Amino acid sequence: MQIALYEPDIPQNAGNIIRTATCLAVPVHLIEPAGFDASDRALKRAGLDYLNHAQITRHESFVAFEAWRKHQGERLILLSTHASQCYTDFAFSGGDVVMLGRESAGAPEHVHAAADARLVIPLAGNLRSINVAAAAAMVLGEALRQTEQFPGKE
């Protein structure tokens, strides 16, 4: 299982996602440009001491990320408020790359078109979205549960 951040806007959210992924032994892909200084120093501040243990791959663009992903043969699973399939109704596979869009704008249409699946977290009433770091934790937990990839679980 892997997680990808598409041009993240908020360093604290990126840091929280990196920390969660690191604790769960999940590699992170950072697709640039980010909406903040994404240098190791800035990420270290957001990710605290977990950054030293994180598996982060930087991609200079979505095109570069897609070239890597296609070469690896991994599925792209996009979380989107515009999707119709609930993430708990989806069958995850071990090598899936779960992608989260920008906090300010989500993911553009070309990213939606490239996705092998688009999933949503159902919300109450007219509420718009859950914090991206919370959404990452929810979906990553379900994906790891389904694929029996939680670290240390025997």
Decide if 112 is inside a domain: yes
Domain of 44, in residue numbers:
2-147
Which of the four pLDDT bands, split at 50, 70 and 90, describes residue 44?
Answer: low
Residue 32 burial (10 A CB sphere; 0-12, 13-18, 19+): middle
The DSSP H or E segment spanning 14 is: helix 11-23
CA–CA separation, 114 vs 77, rounded Å?
9
pTM comes to: 0.92
Residue 108: is the preceding peptide bond cis (ω within 30°)? no
- Give the pLDDT confidence score for residue 141 in this predicted structure: 97
Domain assignment present for residue 153? The answer is: no
User: Which has the minimum average pLDDT: 5-14, 49-58, 136-145?
Assistant: 49-58
> Radius of gyration of the chain from Cα atoms?
14
Q: How many domains does the structure of the chain reveal?
A: 1
Distance of CA 61 to the CA centre of its chain: 15
In a domain, 83, yes or no: yes
44: CATH: 3.40.1280.10
Q: Is residue 152 part of a domain?
A: no
Name the DSSP class of 102: B
Question: pLDDT at position 48, please?
Answer: 59
Q: What pLDDT was estimated at residue 126?
A: 85
Within a domain: 109:
yes
Nearest in space to 79 (alpha carbons), one of 139, 143, 144, 13? 139
Residue 154 lies in a domain: no
Beta bridge partners, 55, equal none
